[in-house]
Amino acid sequence: MAVRKVLRMGNPLLLQVAEPVIEFGTEELGRLIEDMFDTMAAEAGAGLAAPQIGVSRRVVIFGVEKNPRYPDVEEVPTTVLINPVISPLGSEMEEGWEGCLSVPGLRGRVPRHARVRYSGHDQYGGRIEREVSGFHARVVQHECDHLDGILYPRRIRDLRLFGFEPELAAPGGPRSD
Ligand code: NI
């Protein structure tokens, strides 16, 4: 187990399209996923994609536990998702604030599909298929974008709603309420 260095925006590895996983249940895949969970926990992230630690494979993890201190934060089950496929359900888009461990200190308002179906495999090759909405749908779309070399700032429509966290949250800022 190891906390790995998270690559930051500007590193060309974050722009690569990652390769599918061919073999499941291997020691190598197990170690990668363990390192990803250690890194996500150390950085207090909601999700992480393998390319963020420099591994160009189609592997993402995510999960948010219910926290009584933040009752507005929706719970997302802890998930390992490999070779994911996402399809939008309906045409509704939703704007929401996002951050990324590869873009530290910043947040931006990003449009995402409000409802999606996603499928893929767990670390042992078991099939995963879910229909989700809200924050869960947002997290999956954000993480899977990493596998195609897309960081969330590229999806922001109004760059006035992109900035450093304390400034955005300061009185008069777009996140002040
Ligand atoms: Ni990210």
What's residue 177's pLDDT?
67
The catalytic residues are 143
Tell me the CA–centroid distance for residue 151 and ligand 1, in Å: 7
Task: Give the ranges where the chain is alpha helix by DSSP (H).
Answer: 27-42, 134-147, 165-169
Q: Is the pLDDT of residue 1 over 80?
A: no
Pairing state of beta strands 162-164 and 47-49? unpaired
Residues whose CB falls within 8 Å of the CB of residue 57, separated by 6 or more in sequence, listed in order: 18, 19, 20, 21, 32, 50, 51
Query: What is the arithmetic mean of pLDDT over 8-17?
Result: 98
Ligand 1 centroid–CA 16 distance in Å is: 14
pLDDT average, residue stretch 121-129: 98
Residue-level pLDDT at 73 = 80
pLDDT value at residue 71: 75
Residues whose beta carbons lie less than 5 angstroms from ion ligand 1: 100
**Which residue ranges form the domains of the chain, and what is each CATH number?**
12-93+110-149 (3.90.45.10)
| 128 to 118, 144, 156: CA distances (angstroms) | 8, 15, 29
> pLDDT (tens digit, 9 = 90+) per residue, 71-120?
778 899 999 999 999 999 999 999 999 999 999 999 999 999 999 999 99
Give pLDDT tens digits for 50-84: 999 999 999 999 999 887 776 778 899 999 999 99
Nearest to 139 by CA among 53, 74, 71, 52: 74
Question: Ligand 1 centroid to 80 CA: how many Å?
Answer: 15
The CA 153 to ligand 1 mean position distance, Å, reads 10
**Residue 7: pLDDT band with limits 50, 70, 90:** very high
Q: Give pLDDT, residue 33.
A: 98
